[in-house]
Structure 1
Amino acid sequence: MSASNTVQTAKTAESEAPSGRMGDVAYTTIRKLILDNVWSAGYQATEAEVAAELGMSRTPVREALMKLQQEGLIKVTPRHGMQVLPISPEDMLQIYQILTSLEATAAELVAERGLDDASLKPLSDATAAMDAALQVDDLDAWAFADEQFHAHLLTLCGNEYLRNVVLNFWDRAHRARMVTLRMRPKPVHSTREHIELVAAIRSGDANLAGSVQRAHRKRAGTELLSLLNRLGLNRL
């Protein structure tokens, strides 16, 4: 979704949603603008400017900014507004260490549940969408399908606490992935690894599922960090 579409969605939501829900709409909209690098690291705006950009009143925007500050995505300074905080290669290293460990655990949990093909269909559909996107070199569609895969994996693991922790860090890594999406090799390896993970889960082999996901995350993290260092990208 483009920046204009994201903002238009917020304006429409404000006209339709109950007043108590507008803080959530503002939060979701601003967070997406940051994570998609529409508002990149260093972007600054006053509370009034953000409210005007979103076509919303200042109260829900203020609530959203406070929540985003607690998550570490922005810094709010009285009378000066908000500033989007950067993510460094060191941040990404630590984030990928978390993702590698917890997503491997999630994969093991899904395999242990012995889910049927119908339950696993969202994973299969996501890998098919990833493969189809590569066939037509649509990297944006590939990235969307990739995120859908991981979201479904976390839902299927059955551990809501694990899911919430991983999604928080997954969203932060999203910023770096989108910046470098067209700088990295075509994600053929990643697509194949997702297919291998689905096969391991379907077989009920928790150890194999965890191993496949752990290797996938380590490879992807190493690839991303090497690229950031090679290009001298010290902040995203």
Structure 2
Amino acid sequence: MAQSSKPTRVSDAYTQIKQEIRSARMPPGYQVPEPEIALRLGMSRTPVREALIRLEIEGLVELIPRRGARVLPIQASDMAEIYEILTAMEPEAAAALAGRRPTEAALKPLEEATAEMEAALEARDLDVWAEADDRFHHLLLELHGNRRLMEYIGLLNDQAHRARMVTLRMRHLPEKSTADHRAILEHIRAGDPDAARTAFRQHRQRAAQELLAILENYRLANL
């Protein structure tokens, strides 16, 4: 019984720690001993250790012998590479999806995520906005249907979302980003691959420029 439940414990530890990192509740540079993480999660050290190894492979943490785990800092060079890949791949997924003319029923989760972003922007609730933004990207890839693409882009989106949460209140209100998501959705709904591709590419390019400028200003301020 203990053997069969181990994968579940590791998965639970992985999911919980990853969410703490993605949401910036465990911010970049945060260092914590493994026993403290295990106590925090109410688990033994073994599943926590295995979860941390997975997160290290994904580039979210660094394991330091006898000192625990450190959440890796957000590097501008890393984010430039990540956004270059996202800008190349996500717009193609959106274009392919638009070419298939998904039904309104299939598009409903994307519509709900977009509407939630719009409502959160109106309410100035940036945490809810960021969660809906993250869900939009995940749902679009899920609807596209390429499992390997979803897994690979998902790892990169973890990094992008973490950077977004850290810098969320250093930016202007995400009015343009919200409008971008609405435009992407409407182009998909209209079955226009070229417009969906262009809108998504411009969205990612603008987001990358904004994020890299913030990271550079932070670096210069802390020289």
Q: TM-score range by the shorter chain?
A: over 0.9
**What is the SS of the residue equivalent to 1:18?**
helix
**What is the SS of the residue equivalent to 1:225?**
helix
Match of 1:180 among 167, 189, 209: 167
Deviation digits for residues 132-175 of structure 1 (CA, Å, limit 9, x no counterpart): 11111111111111111111111111211111111101111111
Match status 1:74 vs 2:65: no
Which residue pairs with 2:5 in the alignment?
A: 18
The alignment of Structure 1 onto Structure 2 pairs a total of residues equal to 219
Q: Could you tell me how far apart the structure 2 residues matched to 1:69 and 1:224 are? A: 23
Match of 2:108 among 117, 121, 135: 121
Match status 1:94 vs 2:81: yes
Q: How does 1:7-156 map to 2 (within 5 A)?
A: 18-156=5-143
Q: Could you tell me how far apart the structure 1 residues matched to 2:213 and 2:159 are? A: 18
Conserved 8 A contact 1:89-1:234: no
Deviation digits for residues 170-206 of structure 1 (CA, Å, limit 9, x no counterpart): 1111111111111111111111111111111111111
Q: How does 1:185-200 map to 2 (within 5 A)?
A: 185-200=172-187
- Range moving further from structure 2, 210-219 or 77-86: 77-86
Q: Could you tell me how far apart the structure 2 residues matched to 1:227 and 1:46 are? A: 30
Poorly superposed stretches of 4+, deviation over 3 Å = 17-20
Letter in 2 for 1:128: A
Displacement of 1:46: 2.2
Q: Could you tell me how far apart the structure 1 residues matched to 2:155 and 2:62 are? A: 17
Conserved 8 A contact 1:110-1:158: no
> Root-mean-square deviation (CA), in Å?
1.8
Conserved 8 A contact 1:109-1:158: no
Which ranges in structure 2 are unaligned for 5 or more consecutive residues?
none
Conserved 8 A contact 2:98-2:196: yes
Letter in 2 for 1:97: E
Q: Could you tell me how far apart the structure 2 residues matched to 1:105 and 1:233 are? A: 35
Conserved 8 A contact 2:82-2:156: yes
Displacement of 1:53: 1.9
Q: Could you tell me how far apart the structure 1 residues matched to 2:65 and 2:116 are? A: 45
The share of aligned pairs that are identical, in percent, is 48
TM-score, normalising length: structure 1? 0.87
Conserved 8 A contact 1:130-1:146: yes
Q: Could you tell me how far apart the structure 2 residues matched to 1:192 and 1:66 are? A: 38
Which ranges in structure 1 are unaligned for 5 or more consecutive residues?
1-16
